[in-house]
Each structure stands twice: as C-alpha cells, then as structure tokens.
Amino acid sequence: MKKQLVLIGGGHAHMTTLANLHLFLAKGYDATVIGPSPHHYYSGMGPGMLAKVYRPEEIRFNTQQMVEKQGATFVLGKAVRIDARAKAVHLADGQALPYDVLSCNAGSAVPQTLPGMETAKELFSVKPIERLMEAQAHLLALAGQKQISVAIIGGGPSAVEVAGNVWRLLHDAKVAPPRITVFAGSRLMPKQPDSIRSRAQRSLARRGIEIISPARVREIRDGQVVLDSGSSHGADLIFLALGIKPSPLFADSELAIGPDGGLLVNEYLQCPQYPEIFGGGDCIHFMPQPLDKVGVYAVRQNLVLLHNLLASLEGKPLEKFEPGGDYLLIYNLGDDTGILRKRGLIFGGRLAFWLKDYIDRRFMRKFQAGQ
C-alpha cells in the first residue's frame, strides 16, 4: 500500500509543498490536502480587500485547483481531531483520513470570549478573511440607509488596519461619514514603538476615527459595546480584533501544545511526541524560541517543511528550521499610506504603502502561477 502524506490547511507554510505535490506522487506516495474552503486568502491583503483596493480573487490562492491539477486529492472539510496513535485525521463530517506523514498548517482564529458575542447580529471577526468580505457587504448596505457607527474591539495592528480601511471603503462609497471608534484596551498598538503608535494615531485622528483607551470591553449587548467603566457605546457593526490564537485542534487531540495552544514542534518543525507529525505557521509553538504570529515565519518555513515531509517518508535526515533575523513589517492605513518598520528604520507615507503593495502582489503572482 502506498504511503500517505496528508496536509491540514493550505496556508503560507504549505505553499511550496502544495506547489510541489507532484514530487511526492512521482516517488509513489499519495497526497491529500484538507481545507475548509477551496481557496486560501492571504491575510496581509485582507484589509485592502475590505476597502475594495483589491478584488477577492487578487488575494486568494485556488488551493483545490492547485492540488488536483497535479493529481493529488483535495478534501473539502474541517479537521476536528488527530488520532496520533491510529495515525488518522478525523473531519467534522465523520470522515477519517489515514496518514503516514502529517503536516499541519491549520492557522489561527480571533478568540471570541466576550459575553454577548454569541447573539450579536452584526459582529465580524478579522479572521478568517472571508468574514471581511461579509462585513464589506453589510457596511455598504447599512451605510446606504443611514449614518452608521462602527466599533473595532482591540488595539493591535489589525484593529488599526481595519479602522483605516473601513474609513476608505465608506469614503469611496460617498455615503454619510461613519462614526468609527477603536476600543484599544490598555493602549493602541501596545507592542510597537512610540514612533509607530503616534503615526497610527495621527493617521486615524486626521480622518475622524476615535480611539478610546484604556477601554476594556465587558460585554456586547443589544447593539452596544459596554466597557468595564459602565459606559456604553452604540454600534451598528462591530469588528473583533483581539489578537489571534492557534486552532484548538491540537488541544482537542491531546497532543503536546505550547502556552499559546499551538502544536509543540522542535527545530525540525516536528512534533517530538509523534515524529511523523509536522507543522508550520500560526498553529505551532516553536520550542527553541517563541515566534511572533506574522506571516514571514510561515514563508520561511516553506522549504524546510517540503524537505522534511519528503525526507520523513523516505527515512532520510531532516533539516533544521532557522527562524532568521529581523523581518519587515508594513501596515496598511487605508488611505494609500502605510507605516514601515525594519530593524531601526521606521517611516510612513505613500512610499511605505507602495512597497507593501509591490511585495504583496509579487508574492501572489509567484504562487498563483501554479494554479
């Protein structure tokens, strides 16, 4: 019987492996990819899609087409449990897929822990990216009827990008200017240097976007954002941008996890407990050193994962993953400007956004070419 390679997710850390599934098939292995959608969206361009700077098809990869074009198998579904002893992945629909080698790129989600979230009608998390498409349609429909209030719960980079791009969307739609409020917890962009924080604050303030901090949200109730202070703020639509957490898949599967809930992996991106399981991207906790939840590490993991998955099937030596040094960050502020940070260099303006746009489009062209 042929050995089975199974991939959970078509995210950034799997892109090179997905583009080279034909190598596994040529060596006599079967390859199966499990995904909750036929497409994978590039999160770095999500806020720009919200603002209609990008069309949905410009920021997504056709995972199913890429897989099936090479003769591998794509399974539309959600992995809910890994039975590591039996070497099988269980899906929400009851299927169980056997594997000899498994790689996990199950992504992350925004934790939904506030009281009232379950019943809130106009609540949208910033992940998965498909939720931003739904939010876009709701924003335009609501703003076409009246002047609206938009709340963004969270103070990190995603909250800033969403606030700026909501403003861009409705500004370009030529509707009544919305009231946009960011409830920023302890402070806006608390993990960033003061120079980045002040640039973001000035950019949002110039467009009339209000930042409330400290602002601990206690609950969401009847279209109101209620703070710990007792004050409440009306909102026609609410975005949830409270950071991200790895998929609960690994905890639910009783696999070893890190403090953040991510699959515990060693320097080979390999689960020490079950060496036939690998992982990359936001869903892992890298034992040698904690990694920021940024796409650059997933991209850097691509070649190592490709090599190690093939080597594991063939019984050959594995390669170590070296995270590398500092990385480039550019935030999209929604008005054709951005903020760039690389080592000690920080600057903002149109050039920063132009660089982000150029890098993102080049990345998309590289991997969309194989679809």
Give which of 145, 144, 124, 127 is closest to 135, Cα–Cα: 124
Cβ pair 128, 110 in contact under 8 A: no
For every residue of 298-355, DSSP letters joined together read HHHHHHHHHHHHHHHHHT-PPPPP---S---EEEE-SSS-EEEEETTEEEEEHHHHHH
pLDDT in tens, 159-190: 999 999 999 999 999 999 999 999 998 999 99
Domains of the chain are 4-109+244-326 (3.50.50.60), 123-243 (3.50.50.60), 328-371 (no CATH)
pLDDT category, 276, cuts 50, 70, 90?
A: very high
- The pTM for the full model equals 0.92
pLDDT in tens, 292-345: 888 899 999 999 999 999 999 999 999 999 999 889 999 999 999 999 999 889
